[in-house]
Every structure is written in structure tokens, then in C-alpha cells.
């Protein structure tokens, strides 16, 4: 937990003065525990009783803080998505660097995150949930839009001659392409130990395609 932003207090209630309202430490604990179970054991295992037990509290107390399971899931999702938005938002501003170098760094950072167990486990769960839950769909969709924004910004710097439509297409391809690595990063063999080489190929490919793209 060292330095990791707290889900609720730091993200859902940023910079609240005079401390936080009572019970927010508990809500915080609940969400972190729920997320842990979701990542380690999957959505099916993330029952109210399982969460309560892992928190060391009784079911009734959990439903006091989150009356329904849907309440809990929604706040968890908001917190998780917010944490990713904060992470990617920090990349946008890196003055004094060539756009290609910034593209490389951005891709490196995203791919590094993609390689983490948290992301490789969490996002497949979210994709599956999004298929049948409009709220999850909405939030994940929103996250991708925000994550794509700095990417498209850099593309615009590299190719000011392109119409916006083409820049969007390039951004969509690159982001989708990187997202695909999430699926494979979860596999141990033969992908895991080849990840650095594949990452290198990916970034080279991205730079090449942006540099050489010819509008139809």
C-alpha cells in the first residue's frame, strides 16, 4: 500500500479539507478488498459475504456501508477508472521533448502498466462485465477515450498535415493494438519472456505508421 493512492479518499474525494467524513476509512478498506478479490479470484468470487469476511467485518456491516451490491460495484468501478485516468493524465505534459520521443515514452508507460498483474487480470473482467452491463460499458468506454487523448495529441504534432479523421484512426489503431497486449501479457508462455522484444517491435511499428501514413 506504500504510496499507492487510496481509492476513495484520494480519488473520489480529492483534497478534502479538514479530513474525511467518518466511515470513509472503512469504505476505503471495503473497496480495496473488493478489488483485490476481483483481481485474484474473479467477479464470481466477489460476493458480499466474501468481501465482508476478507475485511474482517460482518455482512450486515458491509450492507450498512453499501446497501446493495450494485452500489459497491459502481463505486469500485468509479474509483478504479479514476485511478487510471490520474495515471495517464500525468503523461500529457512533458515539454522539451520531440513528439516521437514522447510517443515512445507514452507507449512504454502504457505497455508497462499493461504488463502488471493488476491490469492483465482486471481489464478482461471489465470487458466481460461491459458486455452485459451498460454502466460498466460506459465507464470503460470513457476511460479509453481519455487514454487516447494524449496519444492523438502527439500524433497531431507529428502529422499536422493530416485531417482529424485520419489522426483519430491512427490513435485508435495504436491504442487498440496496445490493448491487445493485455490479453497476451497474462499468458506465461511463450509471450511473457518475449514481451520486451514485442514491445520494441510495437513501438517501432507505431512510429513508422504515423510517420509514413498517407491519406486516401
The residues that touch a copy of itself, with contacts defined as CB under 8 A, are: 41-45, 120-121, 124-125, 127-132, 137, 141, 144, 165-166, 168-170, 172-173, 175-184, 186-187, 189-191, 194, 197-198, 201-202, 204-206, 208-209, 212-213
Min dist. Cβ of residue 15 to a copy of itself (A): 33
Listing DSSP states for 159-183 in one string gives -TTS-HHHHHHHHHHHHHHHHHHHH
Identify the residue among 10, 36, 63, 184 touching DNA (CB under 7 A): 63
* Cα Rg of the chain, angstroms: 20
Of 6-45, binders to DNA (CB under 7 A) are: 21-23, 26, 45
**Which option in a copy of itself, DNA, none does residue 20 bind, with CB closer than 5 to 8 A by kind?**
none
Min dist. Cβ of residue 22 to DNA (A): 3
**125 belongs to the binding site for DNA (CB under 7 A):** no
Map residue 109 onto helix, strand or coil: helix
User: Residue with C-alpha cell 481519455?
Assistant: 146
The binding site for DNA (CB under 7 A) comprises 21-23, 26, 45, 47-50, 57-61, 63-65, 67-70
Amino acid at each position: 500500500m506504500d504510496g499507492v493512492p487510496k481509492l476513495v479518499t484520494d480519488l473520489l474525494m480529492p483534497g478534502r479539507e479538514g479530513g474525511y467524513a467518518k466511515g470513509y476509512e472503512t469504505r476505503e478498506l471495503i473497496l480495496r478488498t473488493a478489488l483485490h478479490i476481483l483481481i485474484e479470484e474473479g467477479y464470481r468470487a466477489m460476493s458480499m459475504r466474501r468481501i465482508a469476511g476478507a475485511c474482517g467485518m460482518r455482512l450486515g456491516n458491509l450492507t450498512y456501508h453499501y446497501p446493495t451490491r450494485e452500489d459497491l460495484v459502481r463505486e469500485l468501478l468509479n474509483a478504479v477508472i479514476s485511478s487510471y485516468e490520474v495515471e495517464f493524465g500525468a503523461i500529457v505534459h512533458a515539454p522539451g521533448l520531440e513528439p516521437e520521443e514522447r510517443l515512445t515514452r507514452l507507449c512504454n508507460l502504457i505497455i508497462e502498466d499493461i504488463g502488471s498483474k493488476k491490469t492483465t487480470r482486471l481489464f478482461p473482467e471489465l470487458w466481460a462485465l461491459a458486455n452485459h452491463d451498460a454502466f460498466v460499458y460506459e465507464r470503460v468506454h470513457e476511460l479509453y477515450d481519455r487514454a487516447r487523448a494524449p496519444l492523438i495529441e502527439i500524433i497531431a504534432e507529428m502529422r499536422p498535415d493530416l485531417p482529424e479523421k485520419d489522426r483519430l484512426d491512427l490513435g485508435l489503431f495504436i491504442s487498440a493494438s496496445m490493448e491487445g497486449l493485455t490479453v497476451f501479457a497474462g499468458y506465461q508462455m511463450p509471450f511473457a519472456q518475449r514481451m520486451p522484444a514485442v514491445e520494441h517491435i510495437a513501438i517501432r511499428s507505431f512510429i513508422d505508421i504515423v510517420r509514413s501514413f498517407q491519406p486516401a
